[in-house]
Each structure stands twice: as C-alpha cells, then as structure tokens.
Homo-oligomer: A and B are copies of this chain.
Amino acid sequence: METSRTEIASLGEFGLIEHLTMNNETRQAGTLLSVGDDAAVIDQFGRQCVISNDLLLEGVHFDLMYTPLKHLGYKAVVVNLSDIYAMMATPTHITLAIGISNKFSVEALDEFYEGVYAACEQFNVDLIGGDTSTSKIGFIISVTAVGEVAPDKYVTRAGAKVNDLICVSGTLGAAYLGLQLLEREKKIFLENPGIQPDLENQKYLVGRMLKPEPRADIVEWLEQAGVMPTSMIDVSDGLSSELLHICNSSDTGCILYEEKIPIHDDARKMALEFQVGAVACALSGGEDYELLFTIKQEDYEKVARNVDISVIGYITEKEEGANLLTTGGNKHKLTAQGWNAFRS
C-alpha cells in the first residue's frame, strides 16, 4: 500500500512525534494540556489531573547484565514520577504493565517489584493497576504516572519569557559517565570473565545511573519559597535538548554559561579518564533527572539561597537563538541530540 518510504531517521525523534501528532484533535473540554510536554493535564471539575507514561525496553533503556532488578523497578517508577514533578505537580498513583519472558523466575520478579514498591513508598504513590504479558522479546516495562495539582498551578515548557533566569537542580553529566563506566566494566568482564568489576570507588557515578532520584524536594522547596517557575522540564535527554525544548515551546532563545553548569567532582575526574568533556556529558548525556526551569529575575535572591539550585543562564529573544557561552568567551549554537538510535 505504501507508495513512498520515508525513513524515520530523516525526521529524528522530535520531528517524528510532531509529524505523528500534528493533526491530533481535542474533543474533550477537560483537556488542558495535550501531547508535547512532560505530562498531560486534564481538568476534572476543577481539580487538575496530570498524567504521563513511559516505556523502558531491555537493550534500549537498560542492560540486565549490570542493572540489578530492584534498582530497575525503582528507576522505572521514578523516571515517570520525575515527569509529574516537572509539571510542579504531586504524583499520586501509578500503573505498571510488564512483558516478561520465562527466563525470569518468580524470585527475580519479586526483586523487581521490591524496587517498584520502594519507590512507591518513598514518594507516597499507590500502584493501582497492572498488566502482565509474556514477552518473547526481552523485558518490557510501561509505567503510567498520575498526579494532581491545584487549578492552573501546573508549569509547562512554554512559559519562559525574555530575561527570565535559567536554573537547574543538582549536578549534570554524572549518570552518563556512570553508564560509560558500567559499559566499560561489562566489556572487560566479557573479555576476561575472571575479573570482577571494581566499582566501589565510583558509587556516586554508578548510583546516578542506576538509582536516580526525582527532585520532589525541589518542587516542595519552590512551593514553600513562593517561587513559581515560568517553565519547567526534567533532564532526561541532556541539558542541551531540554533547554531547546523550553526555547522552542516558549518561542525564545537563550544564553547558557558553560562555567555555570554544575558538575560533580567525580564526574569531572571520570570525564578526564574517559577523555571526554565533562560539559559535553552534561549537555548531551541525559538521565540525570534533575529539574531545569526558568524564573523571573525578581525571584533570584530566593533561589540563590538554595545551594542545590544553580543559575546557569538567561532567556533571550528568539532571534538571538539558543547559545552556549564558553569559558573562553566563544559562542556556540546549542544542538539537540535526542535519541538518534534510529540512525545506527
């Protein structure tokens, strides 16, 4: 039936999503925010319900060779909660659908669920639904997270205004370096099965990869400090890609200061060891699950009091583009990688 064939790679991830959803119609009056943000928002007679879902696929998003199942269960939940927090909403419920092969034992699944329940307990959410399928094609995890937010208090990617300050929580790039470390040790192990990986000294980096923590604390702090961000997104694909999402949705440009990007000492050291730029890891690495957001200038003093938030740049007119100002004083266009696994 196909008369022509367009490769998915020619559109890229974000182009593909836009292509597939450009004719998406809204019929329900309660649909406040649809495809294109961290989560969707539905109005239900005054209360607003935030909803998000994600797939985690073996061989794409995780490698069971170095991912303990308990950590995987925890991570599958929290990466979805992170999307809810990125709307400045509070997650309340999750559903979990899994596809499993019979190579799994019940004990292995129990470990996975231990992680799921640990995340539910930690973030006070209820697991309310499930679907369990056989899978002949690896372990497949689908989590849907539901949250709530006071009427019209949710924060999208689209509200950044010129001169707003760009902020990010925690540090960036460590998760990517943790992944590189795990991949290196896996390779060594496969070549020399006698050698056990020694990751004792790299607990921080490996932990950032295997057990990310969504920034519920930052959302709570912002609320208590009375700071209402003008836009917000969580860092799953890398700072560069997320900042471009904010700029595109808000119809603005930005200046990002290289020297302001928060990077942990362990990440800097490991980047040296791998001979990659630590800043490049922060920009394109992803999986940090920190919150990237913009605030009005008048909120600067409040935010400056929180040592766990860095101000890393500011929003400009769209015409100026999205730029990185390097420590050496050069200006570079920010580019988004997204995933480009389709190209390989």
| A residues whose Cβ falls under 8 Å from a Cβ of B | 1-11, 13, 16-17, 19-21, 23-28, 30-31, 33-35, 39-40, 42, 44-47, 49, 51-55, 57-61, 92-93, 95, 97-100, 102, 104-111, 113, 117, 120-121, 124-138, 140, 142, 144, 146, 148, 339, 341-342
| CB-contact partner of A44 in B49, B55, B135, under 8 A | B49
Asked if B52 contacts A129 (CB within 8 A), the reply is yes
A44→B287 CA distance, assembly (Å): 32
Asked if A53 contacts B129 (CB within 8 A), the reply is yes
Where chain A touches its partner, the secondary structure class is mixed
Given contacts A35-B129, A40-B128, A44-B47, contact A92 B6 (CB under 8 A): no
| CB-contact partner of A107 in B5, B100, B140, under 8 A | B5
Asked if A142 contacts B53 (CB within 8 A), the reply is yes
Asked if B60 contacts A135 (CB within 8 A), the reply is yes
Distance of A121 from chain B, by nearest CB (Å): 8
Asked if A7 contacts B106 (CB within 8 A), the reply is yes
Which B residues touch A21, using CB under 8 A?
127, 130
Distance of A76 from chain B, by nearest CB (Å): 12
A179→B59 CA distance, assembly (Å): 31
Asked if A128 contacts B42 (CB within 8 A), the reply is yes
Asked if A8 contacts B53 (CB within 8 A), the reply is no
Asked if B2 contacts A105 (CB within 8 A), the reply is yes
Given contacts A109-B8, A127-B35, contact A51 B133 (CB under 8 A): no
Which B residues touch A132, using CB under 8 A?
13, 16-17, 20
Asked if A127 contacts B60 (CB within 8 A), the reply is no
The list of the 7 closest CB pairs from A to B, nearest first, reads A137-B137, A40-B128, A142-B142, A6-B106, A134-B341, A144-B144, A5-B105
A26→B51 CA distance, assembly (Å): 19
Distance of A139 from chain B, by nearest CB (Å): 10
A110→B5 CA distance, assembly (Å): 11
Beyond A5-B105, A28-B125, A45-B45, 8 extra complex contacts between A and B, CB < 8 Å = A5-B107, A20-B109, A26-B126, A53-B53, A54-B131, A55-B98, A57-B137, A60-B136
A167→B79 CA distance, assembly (Å): 43
Asked if B42 contacts A342 (CB within 8 A), the reply is no
| CB-contact partner of A127 in B6, B24, B111, B342, under 8 A | B24
Asked if A111 contacts B144 (CB within 8 A), the reply is no
Asked if B117 contacts A23 (CB within 8 A), the reply is yes
| CB-contact partner of A60 in B134, B142, B144, B341, under 8 A | B134
Distance of A143 from chain B, by nearest CB (Å): 9
